Structure 1
Amino acid sequence: MVELIEERGFDRLTVGEITQRAMVSRAAFYRNYNDKFHLVEQIFDEAVVALVGTMSDDDRPVRERWTSFFEHISTYHRLYGALLGRTGSPWFANRMRTTLAELAERHVPSTAGVSTGLVPTVISGMFVQTITWWLENDRPSPPHEIADRSARLASAILAEANSWPGPPPVRSRRRPAGERGT
């Protein structure tokens, strides 16, 4: 599948092409997966289990955990590069951002400024973009270096968010004069 995504792009990829390349019948494919999204979701779920495993040892320093994260990305660079790159899947990139935001939410200190959900969302977007850049540029720095730089950027975001007095106010939308509600 990775080869097909690299060749044709995820959006243009068909189940028929996947089954032909994998030398399995369409019936066998559909016994296990609903469609190509379900296949990628299963692959991603397995990768996330491995990824979370690299990050879950809270006894290790944060930078070591981030290094493990980027080592995981490096180990599976073809998969992540295919799915996050130019021919990849916006659906997959969004799924990865959402998953990383959920992870960040659990590990980000719950302060008034950070608990709004904005900060985990920004951090997850930053990491997905960092991964994409790193892979598209053929991993120009080793995992420990990109991990250190990313962790430092995330720390700067957290420091800024922790200086906020509280969550941003929620403003109601005012209707222009003459606009009626429906």
Structure 2
Amino acid sequence: MTQKTENLRVRRTKILLREALIALIEKKGFDALTVGDLTEQAMVSRAAFYRNYQDKYDLVEQIFEEAMGALFGEISALGREHPADVWVTFFEHIAQYDRLYRALLGSKGSPWFVRKMRADLVHLIKERGHHPHGPHESAHPIPPFADEFVPDIVSTMFVEAITWWLEQGQPSTPKEMATRTALLASAVFREASTWVSPRPPDQSA
């Protein structure tokens, strides 16, 4: 078997397993599905599954990393001149993989995946100028003690916004969702910028 043929077989197996994963989450939920369910649904052998993945969590993680890798590649190409475009690109990415994200983030999905996505969003928020400010707004500094708390709150808000948007059948465009969510996030950071850092404890007592 040539290397090209082997690569095509691996790629086909991964596509079948991804489709099987989504279908089974929609049918019975992530927690209930097993590797046996996945291989039966995808019509591939267990050996083929374990050549590519350790377990169902590894399958989800690799799918997610591939999707996020593509997203971050698109975002990196934007540069930093137009920060609002980052969130438009983000919601366009969600729309492109809508069935996957709807399955994983919905009621039959996995809290593990929700936590992982939140963590990646925290990284994106921090990496992209500290917060997703809206159009015509500049970044607002926040006190050091809120540096972890506020991005985590904002990332949670984004995940909830994504879940709602997908479950409602995308009633607004990616650009509209990006603008509204970024403005809400900006309001949170603007409020946090008014907070006063707590005084250190009195050491003289």
**What is the TM-score of this pair, normalised by structure 1?**
0.86
Deviations 1:75-129 (A, max 9, x none): 0000000000111111100100011112212230664257530111011101000
1:64 maps to which of 57, 60, 85? 85
Partner of 1:103: 124
Partner of 1:52: 72
> What's the CA shift for 1:53?
2.3
Structure 2 Cα separation of the partners of residues 113 and 8 of structure 1: 44
1:15 aligns with 2:35: yes
4+ runs deviating over 3 angstroms: 168-171
Structure 1 Cα separation of the partners of residues 93 and 123 of structure 2: 18
1:125 aligns with 2:148: no
Residue type of the alignment partner of 1:105: K
Report 1:35-46 matches (<5 A).
35-46=55-66
1:135 aligns with 2:166: yes
1:91 aligns with 2:112: yes
> What's the CA shift for 1:4?
1.0
> What are structure 2's unaligned runs of at least 5 residues?
1-20, 131-138
Partner of 2:95: 74
**Identity percentage of aligned residues:** 51
Partner of 1:176: none
1:4 maps to which of 24, 38, 41? 24
Secondary structure at 1:45 match in 2: helix
Deviations 1:15-61 (A, max 9, x none): 11111111111111111111000000000111111222233323442
Structure 2 Cα separation of the partners of residues 50 and 17 of structure 1: 28
1:169 to 1:127, Cα distance in 2 relative to 1, 3 A: farther
1:152 aligns with 2:192: no
Partner of 1:33: 53
1:136 to 1:46, Cα distance in 2 relative to 1, 3 A: same
Secondary structure at 1:10 match in 2: coil
Instruction: Output the aligned Cα RMSD.
Output: 1.9
> What's the CA shift for 1:71?
0.4
Instruction: State the number of aligned residues.
Output: 170
Secondary structure at 1:86 match in 2: coil
